[in-house]
Amino acid sequence: MNETLRALPRVDDILEYVDEDLPRAILLDCIREVLDNCRNAIIAGAAAPTKETIAEMSIALAKSKSTPVLRPVINATGIVLHTNLGRAPLAESVAEHVKQVALGYSTLEYDLQTGKRGSRTIGIENLLTTLTKSEAACIVNNNAAAVLLTLSALCTGREVVVSRSELVEIGGSFRVPEVISQGGAILHEVGATNKTHISDYRNAIQDSTAAILKVHTSNYKIMGFTHEVSTKELADLSREIGVLSIYDLGSGSFVSFAGEPTVQQAVADGMDIICFSGDKLLGGPQCGIILGGKEHIAKIRTHPLYRALRADKLTLAALEATLGLYRDIDNAKSQIPALSMLLAQPAMLKEKAALLLEQLDKKLDARLQKTDGQAGGGSLPLQEFESWAVAIPQSSQLSVEELEKHLRNWKTPIITRIHKNTLLLDVRTIEERQFEEIVECVAAYNRAASY
């Protein structure tokens, strides 16, 4: 064993076999790590690998360590706002604008008209007030932060009235009651799980009440014998009694989907404060948007938490460019990927799936299959989106689990789903320019499986 250990090559010996363009420091560390593993394996009774094998192992390890964990994937799941895959993809023009801002200096807090320090969000605020008819706006890093900041600035030490049916839990086990508590407010539940009436809110309001909070249940629905109070009714009651009306709208759409409230309607209904996400149905970057009256937004913006929660320059660049597309709604529907995907018609998707099927290896027993999916990202929970996929079934010659793993570990990972022993490539979320990559990946799997 000692002779075998002494016969292991040196680090410099392994470097002679490596002609890959890899960072030298990472490669050296990986060679040392592989050699250490070889020594441990030899002590455990394994045979010594060749120099070539050690070099290959070192290169593979170095490539793995040099590859960013956060990287692009091809989304073949059909879920448009896939939280695990980053939710809404940005429009090409938006991404290009972000790139230009990222590559150099920018007018983040510089006013070109006066040559003095300016506001980092003035352009976004102007767009939001124009598009929604709200008086003022404020931007933070996500919608949970938007709600937390609003409660901290406007409701600390006082009661916030919420319907029991709206005590939502969002991803990561964050719950509305906990956000209210963290914001320094006191939760006052009203109504029943399935029914809450305007009288429940009216009877709950007292001198210690700061606000009525309505939470849009964008990630679930209560069906059957139910009743909820509209935003218009709550806004009217709040003004009558003299408390704030706050609306956690969640997914925040500017475009009307079946049954989904829009931001513009919430503003028109008279809610004092409206909070929603930027990376869901809006189709922009992750951020939290707060709309409301100038006086309320001014208090929110001057709260100490605002600086801790404010968005960075790349988020602001992406949001402003995305909002700019909404000045022409038809343009927004075609240019913003999330909207374009959600609004894609089944007939068009069937043609798209047929095009992908035609390019795949004919040895596969692949076929077209109609699918039903959802928007994802905690949005539009009741709305199903008819789509089409290329379906590859399990067979004696093909394991869908192995194929899924191969796709997932491809140079550009291809994320799919398996349903009833069939691997599905749902074209709603696949761009046609990505077909070539998918075809190449599947062909590589077939070649390896044929040996």
Domain that holds residue 351: 74-83+339-450
- Reading the block at residue 233, the tokens are 């009714």
How open is the CA angle 315-317-319, to the nearest 5 degrees? 65
Q: Which of 279, 258, 284, 277 is nearest to 385 (CA)?
A: 258
414-415 vs 159-163, strand pairing mode: unpaired
* CA pair distance 122, 155, nearest whole angstrom: 26
- The backbone torsions φ and ψ at residue 4, rounded to the nearest 5 degrees and listed phi first, read -65, -40
Query: In a structure prediction context, what are the per-residue pLDDT tens digits for the chain, which is 451 residues long?
Result: 778 788 788 888 888 777 778 888 898 999 999 999 999 988 888 888 888 899 889 999 998 888 889 999 999 999 999 999 999 999 999 999 999 999 999 999 999 999 999 999 999 999 999 999 999 999 999 999 999 999 999 999 999 999 998 888 776 667 888 889 999 999 999 998 889 999 999 999 999 999 999 998 766 677 777 888 999 999 999 999 999 999 999 888 999 887 788 999 999 999 999 999 999 999 999 999 999 999 999 999 999 999 999 999 999 999 999 999 999 999 999 999 999 999 999 999 999 999 999 999 877 889 999 998 788 776 776 678 899 999 999 987 889 999 999 999 999 999 999 999 999 999 999 999 999 999 999 999 988 776 4
Domain boundary among 335, 360, 393: 335
Question: Do 416 and 392 share a domain, yes or no?
Answer: yes
Question: Do 238 and 316 share a domain, yes or no?
Answer: yes
pTM score > 0.85 for this model? yes
Contact 213, 160 (CB under 8 A): yes
> What are the beta bridge partners of residue 425?
390
> Which amino acid, one-letter code, is at 97?
H
Question: Do 327 and 351 share a domain, yes or no?
Answer: no
Q: Which residues contact 130 (CB under 8 A, 6 or more apart)?
A: 327
Cβ count within 10 A of residue 28: 17
- Reading the block at residue 235, the tokens are 């806004």
CATH code, domain with 258: 3.40.640.10
* Total number of domains in the chain: 3
* CA pair distance 59, 28, nearest whole angstrom: 10
Question: Do 44 and 112 share a domain, yes or no?
Answer: no
Question: Do 315 and 383 share a domain, yes or no?
Answer: no
**Please, how many CA atoms are within 13 Å of residue 47, restricted to the half-sphere of its CB?**
4
Domain boundary among 300, 315, 335: 335
Q: Which residues contact 446 (CB under 8 A, 6 or more apart)?
A: 361, 363, 364
Domain boundary among 271, 302, 335: 335
Please report where in the chains the tokens 């074209």 appear, as a residue.
427
- The backbone torsions φ and ψ at residue 26, rounded to the nearest 5 degrees and listed phi first, read -65, -40
> Which amino acid, one-letter code, is at 171?
G
